[in-house]
Amino acid sequence: MRRLALPFAFTLALGLAACSTADAAPSSPAEDPHAMVAEGATLLDVRTPGEFSSGHIEGAVNIPISELGQRMEEVPTDHSVVVYCLSGGRSASAASMLRSHGYQVHDLGPMSAW
């Protein structure tokens, strides 16, 4: 029984450490989404128009993830992009898509992280 407890405790500690770093402040000002937007980054909301109209971060541009591939030219290429959605799944997909087209992207994840 003792042998199982140690690996479980170790695994639990690693998991808790990973969770605590996800909520930590960005490691540098360049990774701070507020600072990035203040310096001119595009704030991109990839939720649906209905979700966007029910509330969004001030200054955000709405391009739903389902339309991003066809509307990529609407996202400026001369500065960074901070992307978000409701829970983080769509923003992760959008960030990956944008990065593959050469954009500098910060994935905020869920809007609540703002």
Return the active site residues. Answer: 85
- Nearest by Cα to 42 from 73, 70, 66: 73
Torsion sign (Cα): 59, 29, 101, 89:
negative
Q: Are strands 61-62 and 42-45 parallel, antiparallel or unpaired?
A: parallel
Query: Which regions of 50-91 does DSSP assign to beta strands (E)?
Result: 61-62, 81-85
- Nearest by Cα to 51 from 76, 85, 11, 27: 85
Give the span between the Cα atoms of 97 and 39, in whole angstroms.
23
